[in-house]
Amino acid sequence: MLESLRIENLGTISSVALEFSPGFTVITGETGAGKTMLLTSLDWLLGAKVEPALVSHGAQKAVVEGSFQVDNAAGAVVEEAGGVVEDGVAEVSRVVPLASRSKAHLGGRTVPAAILGEFGSSLVSVHGQAAQGRLRTERAQRDALDAYGDEPHRRALERYLRDWEALSLAQKAFTQWEVNAEKREQRREVLERFCEEFDTLRPEDGEFTELSASVAKLSNVESLRENVAAALGAIENEADSTPTAIDLVAVATRALQRAAEEDSSLQEVAQSVSGVGYALDDAARELGVYLQDLNADPEALQEALSRRAAFTDLSLRLGVEPENLGTAWQDTVTEMQGLQGGTEHLEQLRLAKEAAAEAVNQSAAKLHEAREKTARALSKAINAELVGLDMKDTQVNVEVRQKEPGAHGADRVEFMLRPHPKAPVLALSSAASGGELSRIMLALEVTLADRSSRLSQTNQTIQNPQNVGTRGTFVFDEVDAGIGGQAGIEVGRRLARLAQEYQVIVVTHLAQVAAFGDSQVQITKSGGESRITVLNQESRREELARMISGTKLTKTALAHADELIELARVGQSES
């Protein structure tokens, strides 16, 4: 629900702040006074494309801000964008400079304008002349029928959409496998040659490091022998009387042990030095064994060099590290196995595609049956509304004809119109006049809104109890164009009925409609600037009289205004 709207420097509006009630708000004023700018500001908050040309003359930027009471879906959009919802209310704004890019904010965070559209999709529904034009399209008529559907209808539609997606994926998989058969065979041959090399080489992960270490050792036997022998001679040398490291450490150990007998604080140091002696003994034994085993082996060196070169060559051609050739071997075998049996796999894909097509046909039949049932109910509901809109001889019939399955079903949905009993039945898209279409659109909107209200209240109570009390918003932009008199009263009565469940904001030129509003906003223009006023009871009476008679107030017009207000009061109490 829209709680408040603040506008600065938009068209003829320099600055205004409005608060909206939960019920029925009417917006009235002379043509050109600025009603369009008010709705434009709301469109901007709902993610519509902005127009810098609408920034007021002499201003550098236009600013629009709004406060919305949110439901679960809209609240989730705010939170996913990193914004904040406080006490169930989210703040939205658009800043539109003259010479730079506009900015959108949601819940205190800067967001793309598309996020505002997602945010507002579950909160606000705007209906105007453009929406009436869309009713002429097959897609809009199909969507209206599906929107009116009951729970079995919705389940049938959801099942069809799932089955159609599965068929699309199955067809894509079959086509890709069939088209890429030659490339797949070429790839299999390449992998087969790699597998032959792997079977010969039989590498293991980590083996390349071991090979490199082996090559380094076998390539430097003489240097290793010389250095290790020198180290061993320095540690332990029985053939020479020169004191070795072991001898010197033994002398130090004995001296420290005697000193420790006189000063116990040296005991730890003595033990450490003694440990060094043991370590040197161990090192001498290991080095001696190493020298005994250290022999030149040209054949082993050549074998290690050849194997390492084979690792390097294969890894470069595969594009992997030599250390990981063991894993690459298994991956190659797995990929090649997946490419084998191409004919058998193609047959499996064909069978899967046929099964998916059969599932689509079955779900299409169930959806067609549901749509036919819903079409009869929707036709009856629309025609009942048209009676009250002074179109009792007009009949609208929603036809559902089968066609080839597509993304939205296997049905062609078309609204048919018979303006009067002697007229032929023609497609609404070509037969309806502007006035007829506006009233049919209103009848459809009220019918869908009534249906949506019942479903919404049930779903909110059962599934989302915390949503109860959160109202959606309907905005009607001169949907009463081309009608008047008693039909206008019926329009007002239906909008008031709608406002019992929703917030309804209506731009109207009809006093008969405005009289049913819970509150009224008047827009006037003076000196090129719009003035927006929330009318009190007396001012509203005068505005209704002006709408009836023109700019001049007369006793007759005021009396007529009083009659309309009383009529609306009685009508609302009875509804």
pLDDT tens readout for residues 321-368: 999 999 999 999 998 887 777 778 788 899 999 999 999 999 999 999
Residue 314 clears pLDDT 50, i.e. is over it: yes
The band of 18, judged by pLDDT with boundaries at 50, 70 and 90, is: very high
Of the given ranges (380-389, 394-403, 429-438, 470-479), which has the lowest mean pLDDT? Answer: 429-438
Residue 575 clears pLDDT 70, i.e. is over it: no
Residue 130 clears pLDDT 60, i.e. is over it: no
Residue 434 clears pLDDT 70, i.e. is over it: no
Give the integer Cα–Cα distance in Å for 287 and 246.
14
Q: Distances in Å between the alpha carbon of 298 and those of 221, 306, 462?
A: 10, 12, 84
Residue 284 clears pLDDT 80, i.e. is over it: yes
The band of 122, judged by pLDDT with boundaries at 50, 70 and 90, is: confident
In whole numbers, what is the pLDDT of the chain averaged over residues? 87
DSSP labels, 262-289: H-GGGHHHHHHHHHHHHHHHHHHHHHHH
Q: What is the pLDDT of residue 433?
A: 65
DSSP labels, 446-499: HHHHHHHHHHHHHHHHHT-GGGTT---EEEEESTTTT--HHHHHHHHHHHHHHT
Q: What is the pLDDT of residue 320?
A: 93
pTM over 0.75: no
Per the CB < 8 A criterion, the answer to whether 177 and 341 are in contact is: no
The stretch 30-53 carries a mean pLDDT of 88
Residue 45 clears pLDDT 60, i.e. is over it: yes
Residue 435 clears pLDDT 90, i.e. is over it: no
Q: What is the pLDDT of residue 366?
A: 97
Task: For CA atoms 401, 405, 406, 409, give the dihedral sign.
Answer: positive
Give the integer Cα–Cα distance in Å for 535 and 297.
107
Q: Distances in Å between the alpha carbon of 21 and those of 59, 433, 478?
A: 31, 34, 20
Residue 438 clears pLDDT 80, i.e. is over it: no
The stretch 13-24 carries a mean pLDDT of 92
Residue 463 clears pLDDT 50, i.e. is over it: no
Q: What is the pLDDT of residue 132?
A: 59
CATH class belonging to 1-128+471-534: alpha beta
The band of 519, judged by pLDDT with boundaries at 50, 70 and 90, is: very high
The string over 400-411, giving b where at least 16 C-beta atoms fall within 10 Å of a residue's C-beta and e elsewhere, is beeeebeebbbb
The candidate with the shortest Cα–Cα distance to 305, out of 438, 425, 429, 212, is 212
Compute the C-alpha angle 9/474/525, nearest 5°. 35
The stretch 228-245 carries a mean pLDDT of 84
The stretch 47-65 carries a mean pLDDT of 93
Question: Using N-to-C axis directions, what is the helix angle for 207-218 and 325-339, rounded to 10°?
Answer: 140
The string over 140-167, giving b where at least 16 C-beta atoms fall within 10 Å of a residue's C-beta and e elsewhere, is bbbebbbbbbeeebeebbebbeebbebb
Give the integer Cα–Cα distance in Å for 120 and 140.
19
Give the integer Cα–Cα distance in Å for 452 and 472.
10
For 186-211, write each residue's pLDDT tens digit: 888 899 999 999 999 999 999 999 99
Q: What is the pLDDT of residue 181?
A: 80
Q: What is the pLDDT of residue 473?
A: 87
- 504 DSSP β-pair partners: 24, 474
The band of 477, judged by pLDDT with boundaries at 50, 70 and 90, is: confident
Task: For CA atoms 51, 57, 60, 61, give the dihedral sign.
Answer: negative
The stretch 491-501 carries a mean pLDDT of 86
Residue 479 clears pLDDT 80, i.e. is over it: no
For 246-269, write each residue's pLDDT tens digit: 889 999 999 999 999 999 999 999
The candidate with the shortest Cα–Cα distance to 534, out of 27, 15, 67, 2, is 27
Q: Distances in Å between the alpha carbon of 251 and those of 242, 254, 282, 504, 552?
A: 14, 5, 18, 104, 127
Q: What is the pLDDT of residue 443?
A: 83
Q: What is the pLDDT of residue 338?
A: 78
Higher model confidence: residue 438 or residue 301? Answer: 301
The band of 452, judged by pLDDT with boundaries at 50, 70 and 90, is: low
Q: What is the pLDDT of residue 460?
A: 39
For 147-201, write each residue's pLDDT tens digit: 899 999 999 999 999 999 999 999 999 998 888 887 888 888 899 999 999 999 9
Domain boundary assignment for the chain: 1-128+471-534, 206-322
Of the given ranges (234-238, 347-351, 468-472, 526-530), which has the lowest mean pLDDT? Answer: 468-472
Of the given ranges (3-12, 411-420, 516-525, 561-570), which has the lowest mean pLDDT? Answer: 561-570
The stretch 463-483 carries a mean pLDDT of 63
Residue 101 clears pLDDT 80, i.e. is over it: yes
Q: What is the pLDDT of residue 243?
A: 86
Residue 135 clears pLDDT 80, i.e. is over it: no
Compute the C-alpha angle 84/88/94, nearest 5°. 55
Give the integer Cα–Cα distance in Å for 71 and 79.
12
The band of 464, judged by pLDDT with boundaries at 50, 70 and 90, is: very low
